[in-house]
Amino acid sequence: MSDILIAVKNKDLDSLRSILLDDPSLADVCDEEGVAVAFVAAKTGDMSILRYMVEYSRAHMNIRDPKGRHMLHYGVMSNNLEVVRYLTERVDMSPLEGDLRGITPYDLAVSEGYEDIVRYFEEVTGASYDRIYKNPVRRGFWPDPSVVAVGDDYYMVNSSFIYFPAIPISHSRDMINWEVIGYAVTDDDDAMLDELPGGRGYWAADISYHDGRFFITATYRLSDEGTVYRRQMVVSSDKPEGPYSKPVFIDEDGIDPSIFVDDDGRKYMLLNRGARIFELNSDCTKKISDATLLYYGDNKRGVEGAHLLKKDGWYYLFLAEGGTGMGHRITVARSETLFGRYEPCPYNPILKQEDDRLRIQKAGHGKPILCADGNWYMVYLCSRPVKGPGHIVSNLGRETAVDRIEWTADGWPIVGNRRHPSDSAVAPMLGVTDAVAQASFMHYDDDFTGLDMEWMSVRSRRGCVWTADNKLFLRCDNYEPSDIRFRGVLLRKQSSMDFDADITVCTGSMLVGEEYKCGLINYYDERTYVYMAVTRTSEDSLKINVVSHEGEDEVCGSCIVSYSDSVTLCEEVRGLERCFYVSAAGERKLVAALPKVDFLCDEGLGGGKRFTGATYGVFGVGEDVVYSFEKLHVYNRE
């Protein structure tokens, strides 16, 4: 251990002064775990040591340890309120800023039972711990959020791409806890997804409410064949959950439509590139004017996701810019008239992650909403990538986050005080609703008493999924997961980087033959997936195969187990590592360990139209064969 670390740990101020006077660069020394000497000083709880490191050494205060923790985390570890107060008030460190796993100093104080520090953080944040929420509020593949408030209820839509039913509609009373209540397109034929490659389908949906009806619009992205790639879809309903009208398509090129209703009742649709606008008829089913460009944006790269807000006599135009990767951001401009000249906000970007060390990245594509507490909030997409040497892997896809909007004295909106996207924040509706704390993300159990609303099919369902007698039944076809015609699959969105999952496969009536298989699948699209399949090879034996597909199949492991009426397939996921097990006749066997599954992500297989996220679920292959499953259990470990 270096002399400076010994001096700090021994709380020897004289030795610390002498060492740093002799060599000021030693203020940057780290211990064997990569923890900087300034952090060690905070952890000692000695104010004289801490103040010297902060006020007299060359140590930087914006550094992080290898786990993403900042100095206030270590101040909390000291259980010294004076240290915590000093770092919070004088060094301006936030108790709500998390590490790489989202753990904040506030979380740490609560988990350690440091009551004085917890009370202080309640005072600083203005909220008790149970009113603090964590971003993202919708975890996993929930991209391109749009929200509308109707009374005290909030309704959100997200992109669904080639998954069916199309465009999930979620409901909340507090903007934090959301539940899927319906879908915008529920008829297989109306969805028109059967022939589309992965990554196409329904992009960037928007929901609005006017004239007593809910309107949902989205870009219908076709394949790259032909001359028409993009059309704008509109449906409406008098109930938020639906059923919605048969889709109507508006033939104007562009993506990310939204509907704006002006004070005079006239209705408009906005589209990229830049922000273009055209007028709609009264029921939003027809274009009745040519499109015109309002404004091309502040960053002027990848401009999309336009939303208009009329407030205090101004038209505020919110835009997503910079592309959907690490440069993603939200900007705003305003004009005194709808078709006037738009002035860019002097504080642009009003939301962007500038620090690539932090947990939440790629923040953008947001829509403002006025909530019942009188405050404005921004719903936006973000990502929590897994980072390693030379690579960034966004296996959870793009998720939904919420942050508060503040309005400046000169009338501009800024998000989260322009610090960066929040790890944790005070929940909306404080003092307005009795909303419970944020629901746990840790567990999901399904005994198949019915079909949960969050289960998704690929492209269409056509009656091939049902539940009965606490079992899930899946009628399959003869197509492999790599085939666009593959339909024998049912999926859920992976919401955690670390999780365990197991499901029981009923094998009692399984046909003998290599052409029949079913099991557990991790699916991104037809080009990238991993599955563990059961095949009945004889009357008294079952074969378990793990197959990885990154453009082509690769068998990663297999084993033989004795025939029984059921086997349980299990997987353990830790970041990019995925291990697959089978439990049969009371014995658990490792079938395959895949140390680096880095292709179930937006960046996988050379890019392309990869905007969704990893999923897990069940699948089967076999012409008109029905497979059955029971007892799905998922345990998320973060």
Active site residues: 144, 304
How far apart are the C-alpha atoms of 13 and 19, rounded to whole Å? 10
Q: How many of the other CB atoms lie within 10 Å of CB of 186?
A: 16
Maximum distance among all alpha carbons in the chain? 81
The residues, ordered by sequence, that sit 6+ positions from 469 with a Cβ below 8 Å of its Cβ are none
Rounded to whole angstroms, the Cα distance separating 496 from 135 reads: 13
Rg (CA), the chain: 27
CB 290 within 8 A of CB 283: no
> Amino acid letter at 194?
D
Q: At what angle do helices 37-44 and 47-55 cross, to 10 degrees?
A: 150
Strands 489-493 and 498-506: unpaired
Q: What are the structure tokens assigned to 381, written together?
A: 């997409």
- DSSP structure string for 344-361: EPTT--SB----TTSS-E
What do you get for the CA distance between the two ends of the chain, in Å? 33
Token couple for 12: 């020897």
Nearest to 223 by CA among 248, 254, 189, 198: 198
Neighbours of 225 (CB within 10 A): 9
Q: What are the distances in angstroms from CA 544 to CA 358, 532, 536?
A: 40, 7, 9
Would you say 548 and 577 are in contact if contact means Cβ atoms under 8 Å apart?
no
Q: How far apart are CA 222 and CA 203, in angstroms?
A: 10
Spatial contact of 473 and 626, defined as CB atoms under 8 Å apart? yes
Burial environment of residue 403 by CB neighbours within 10 A (0 to 12, 13 to 18, 19 or more): buried
With residue 401 as reference, give the H or E element that holds it: strand 399-407
- Residue 485 falls in which region: left (phi positive, over 0), alpha (psi -120 to 50) or beta: alpha
> SS3 of 204, please?
strand
Contact 524, 480 (CB under 8 A): no
Using DSSP, state whether 68 is helix, strand or coil.
coil
Q: Before 85, cis peptide (omega within 30)?
A: no
Q: Identify the H or E element spanning 492.
A: strand 489-493
Specify the DSSP element, H or E, that contains 537: strand 528-538
Q: Name the β-bridge partners of 628.
A: 473, 506
